[in-house]
Amino acid sequence: MQYKKLGHTNLDVSLIGLGTMTWGQQNNVEEACEQMDYAVSRGVNFFDVAEMYPVPPSAETQGSTESCIGEWFNRTGKRSDIILATKVTGRADKAADWKHLRGGPRLSRDHIRRAIEGSLERLQTDYVDLYQVHWPERATNYFGQRGYRHNPKGDGIAIEETLDALSELVAEGLVKHVGVSNETPWGVMEYLRLARERDMAKVVSIQNVYNLLSRQFETGLAEMAIREDAGLLAYSPLAFGILSGKYIGGKMPAGSRMELFTRFSRYDNPQATAATEAYQAIAEKHGYSLTQMSLAFVCQQPFVTSCLIGATTMEQLKENIDAGDLTLSDEVMSEIRAIHNQYPDPAP
């Protein structure tokens, strides 16, 4: 396993990080613990979770994923071996769907305080290594929204209040470091500006979507990640499983995420399908599975700190972790570049 520094911190995180959002929904606590046991045996030391997990979010299951990790800590006593990241939920457009989270989550000081207290209780720990804002408070383009439509009336809680509240948690030791997720270049720069000018906690990571079908991070945010020492924690590196190849040809495996949850339509378009088939051909030509090639591509990017994999079966987990040991040749990368030029970012 390779390791990289988490931003400017002294923490070395595994290049393959363990995503967890299926635990408590598609996976029970025993399966979650089995995944954690195996991942740690392979050198994975970075777990990423969120207070709203599992996904799809619901009042009935909210917090179950953090509880799975807390149970594993309780059983194994390995809390100090893990670099643990969780997230505070951002404002929801449809507030009625989120009443179970503090009556409708916001990124205010009060909400952030209550959120971290709930997470720590479920995780059975007294601190988290990385606390992330799950998505912006303001109205902007994230979660697959193309284009930007300025709406200052939708700004809500100012980033300054959010970062000040996070900085208080750092000062108290409840949180070691802070990060952002699903952010734009302007948002990241605002966090960095405030940290610099007002002596607040500095963002050490950006957790955004990044995969062969969705590479918008490379425009604007990649340079920022490198220059500002706030590397990418790449989520959805297999594009909801599309880049495993299991849906090629219109297949819909029983029990798969796309079969269970029709809300995941981000990659469901003809361009994404054509690009996936082209990437599959490259992988087969060079003796890789599409899964391996897709994950290895993410891991090789200089702005990536950790590639966050997720799995519902042990077989998937093993293949995903194995991909972290691969290095794609210049020839493979060139062929990938050609497909990207043909189908540039077919999914938002």
The dihedral through the CA atoms of 61, 165, 176, 295 has a sign that is positive
Residue 216 lies in a domain: no
Q: Work out the percent of the chain whose per-residue pLDDT is above 70.
A: 95
Residue 319 lies in a domain: no
Lowest-pLDDT choice from 184-198, 238-252, 334-348? 238-252
- The one catalytic residue in 38, 53, 148, 191 is 53
Q: Look up residue 13 and give its two tokens.
A: 């995180």
Q: Which pLDDT value is given to residue 131?
A: 99
Residue 244 lies in a domain: no
Q: Is the pLDDT of residue 241 over 70?
A: yes
Residue 31 lies in a domain: yes
Q: CA 274, CA 251: separation in Å to the nearest integer?
A: 14
Residue 224 lies in a domain: no
Is 343 labeled as catalytic in the residue annotation? no
The CATH number of whichever domain residue 60 belongs to comes to: 3.20.20.100
**Start-end of H helices in the chain:** 29-41, 64-76, 109-123, 159-172, 185-198, 221-227, 257-260, 270-285, 290-299, 314-322, 330-342
Residue 343 lies in a domain: no
Residue 299 lies in a domain: no
Residue 55 lies in a domain: yes
Q: CA 289, CA 14: separation in Å to the nearest integer?
A: 22
Q: Which pLDDT value is given to residue 16?
A: 98
Structural domain boundaries, residue 181: 3-207
Give me the number of domains the chain comprises. Answer: 1
Q: Which pLDDT value is given to residue 95?
A: 61
The per-residue pLDDT for range 22-74, each reduced to its tens digit, is 999 999 999 999 999 999 999 999 999 999 999 999 999 999 999 999 999 99
Q: Which pLDDT value is given to residue 145?
A: 87
Per DSSP bridges, beta strands 12-14 and 3-5 are antiparallel
The per-residue pLDDT for range 72-98, each reduced to its tens digit, is 999 999 999 999 999 999 998 776 678
Q: CA 116, CA 240: separation in Å to the nearest integer?
A: 28
Q: CA 270, CA 280: separation in Å to the nearest integer?
A: 15
Q: Is the pLDDT of residue 251 over 90?
A: no
Q: Is the pLDDT of residue 19 over 80?
A: yes
Q: What is the CA radius of gyration of the chain?
A: 19
Q: CA 42, CA 141: separation in Å to the nearest integer?
A: 37
Q: Look up residue 183 and give its two tokens.
A: 């952010």
The per-residue pLDDT for range 318-348, each reduced to its tens digit, is 999 999 999 999 999 999 999 999 999 899 8
